[in-house]
């Protein structure tokens, strides 16, 4: 089964997830499309400003410094020196396994659809992808497009599920791999994995745990789709909860529940 990966250009957790995936499926992966970190219809700058207003100076500048360090390390170690012993970006992981990369393209454009057809792509795995996958793209992908979402769907559809899980005082979180349809986070569920949330857990703890489980869920899902011997679970819209960008009031609620950002 010829595969393609759509993945967000996030340097903290996703290089590790992609590395685990490619260890299993590099030989049958035709390419990797790297998508923007921008949330929803926002630009990257707009996303950054919204996060600054949400988190405040302390956490934002700490996260920004880590982001810049990762970007510099990726440029120097992975791009200039050419070493992939430690991969600081998803592009570096792709280079490690010799997988072609596309970036800054509209995956619904005719030229990209032609590219996927020419490569014989049968299945697409979206890992925290940030683009909408249109009807033509879905119809020309015979084994389907699967998306990995950091929550126990149908609960917590939409943006920043790890944040909302903590803000709402949940004692359990999870990761869901589901097929993509015309609605956001709405398709049938292939694999779902759970983790326990402790009162001392921070947002960083929960995001890291979610991404660890994501790699396991993705690999299991791809193997099931390859085998053709699997059953999906309903992603019931009647039970769905949808969330967008949090506010400062939501952050205070997260802190009041006993959790912290890091």
Model confidence pLDDT, tens digit, residues 19-28 = 999 999 999 9
Instruction: Identify the band that residue 3 occupies on the pLDDT scale cut at 50, 70 and 90.
Output: very high
Mean pLDDT calculated for residue range 21-39: 95
DSSP 3-state of 82: coil
181 and 138 in a single domain? The answer is: no
118 and 9 in a single domain? The answer is: yes
Q: Is the pLDDT of residue 82 over 80?
A: yes
Give dist(CA 145, CA 55) in Å, integer: 33
Range of the domain at 170: 150-262
2 and 128 in a single domain? The answer is: yes
Q: What is the pLDDT of residue 79?
A: 97
86 and 31 in a single domain? The answer is: yes
Q: pTM for the full model?
A: 0.95
195 and 115 in a single domain? The answer is: no
Output Rg (C-alpha) for the chain, integer angstroms.
Answer: 18
28 and 131 in a single domain? The answer is: yes
189 and 130 in a single domain? The answer is: no
Other C-beta atoms lying within 10 Å of the C-beta of residue 164? 23
Q: What is the pLDDT of residue 99?
A: 98
Q: Is the pLDDT of residue 168 over 90?
A: yes
C-alpha dihedral (41, 34, 62, 216), degrees to nearest 10:
110
- Active-site entry in 149, 178, 194, 259: 149
34 and 86 in a single domain? The answer is: yes
Q: What is the pLDDT of residue 104?
A: 83
Q: What is the pLDDT of residue 40?
A: 67
137 and 14 in a single domain? The answer is: yes
Is residue 99 within 8 A of residue 25, CB to CB? The reply is no
Q: Is the pLDDT of residue 14 over 90?
A: yes
Model confidence pLDDT, tens digit, residues 100-124 = 999 989 999 999 999 999 999 999 9
Model confidence pLDDT, tens digit, residues 221-258 = 999 999 999 999 999 999 999 999 999 999 999 999 89
* Overall number of domains in the chain: 2
137 and 203 in a single domain? The answer is: no
138 and 156 in a single domain? The answer is: no
Query: What CATH number should be reported for the domain holding residue 199?
Result: 3.40.50.170
Instruction: Identify the band that residue 38 occupies on the pLDDT scale cut at 50, 70 and 90.
Output: confident
Given 107, 125, 143, the domain boundary residue is: 143
**In the annotation, is 149 catalytic?**
yes
Q: Which of 9-18, 31-40, 214-223, 224-233 has the lowest mean pLDDT?
A: 31-40
């Amino acid at each position: 089964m010829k595969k393609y990966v759509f993945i967000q250009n996030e340097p903290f957790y996703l290089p590790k997830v992609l590395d685990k995936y490619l260890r299993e499926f590099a030989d049958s992966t035709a390419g990797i499309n790297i998508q923007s970190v921008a949330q929803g219809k926002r630009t990257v700058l707009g996303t950054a400003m919204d996060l600054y207003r949400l988190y405040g100076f302390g956490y934002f500048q700490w996260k920004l410094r880590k982001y810049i360090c990762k970007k510099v390390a990726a440029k120097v170690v992975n791009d200039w020196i050419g070493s992939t012993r430690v991969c600081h970006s998803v592009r570096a992981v792709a280079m490690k396994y010799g997988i072609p990369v596309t970036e800054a393209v509209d995956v619904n454009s005719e030229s990209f659809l032609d590219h996927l057809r020419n490569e014989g792509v049968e299945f697409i795995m979206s890992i925290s992808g940030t683009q909408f996958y249109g009807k033509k793209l879905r119809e020309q992908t015979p084994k389907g497009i699967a998306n990995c979402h950091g929550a126990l769907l149908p609960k917590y559809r939409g943006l920043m599920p790890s944040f909302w899980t903590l803000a709402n005082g949940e004692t359990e979180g999870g990761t869901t791999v589901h097929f993509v349809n015309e609605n956001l986070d709405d398709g049938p569920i292939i694999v779902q994995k759970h983790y326990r949330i402790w009162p001392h857990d921070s947002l960083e703890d929960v995001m890291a745990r979610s991404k660890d489980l994501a790699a396991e869920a993705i690999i299991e899902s791809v193997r099931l789709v390859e085998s053709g011997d699997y059953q999906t679970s309903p992603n019931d819209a009647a039970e769905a909860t949808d969330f967008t960008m949090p506010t400062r009031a939501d952050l205070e609620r997260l802190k009041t529940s006993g959790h912290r950002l890091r």
